[in-house]
Structure 1
Amino acid sequence: MYGWIWRHLPGPTPVRVLEALVLALAIIALLMFVVFPWAEPLLPFNNVTTPS
């Protein structure tokens, strides 16, 4: 999959590296600001109890 993405990025190698970095940062931002907040209420981690 990563090879497919690398082959389809336009430009010479330095430009491809920059484009791949921007693409990775955009995916991380999408996960952090959209996907994780949406999924957080659905996860069972809110019911934390500590023994007395």
Structure 2
Amino acid sequence: MYGWIWRAIPGGTGVKLVTVLALTGVAGVVLWYVVFPMLEPHMPLDRVTVGR
């Protein structure tokens, strides 16, 4: 799959590298600011129970 993506991006090696880094950054920002906040209410991360 990564080989197909690399071949599908137009340009030389430098342009491809910059494009891949930019796409990775955009994906990270979308996950951090959109997807993770939407999932947070459904995750029991702050509900800690300690029993005796």
Compute the TM-score of the two structures, normalised by the length of structure 1.
0.86
Tell me the matched-pair count. 52
Shift of 1:50: 5.1
Shift of 1:49: 3.7
Compute the TM-score of the two structures, normalised by the length of structure 2.
0.86
Gaps of 5+ in 2: none
Q: Identity, % of aligned pairs?
A: 45
1:1-52 deviation digits (Å, cap 9, x = unpaired)? 211111111100000000000000000001000000000001111212457x
Deviating 4+ runs (over 3 angstroms): none
Gaps of 5+ in 1: none
Instruction: Look up the equivalent residue of 2:3 and give its one-letter code.
Output: G
Distance in 2 (alpha carbons) for counterparts of 1:50 and 1:5: 48
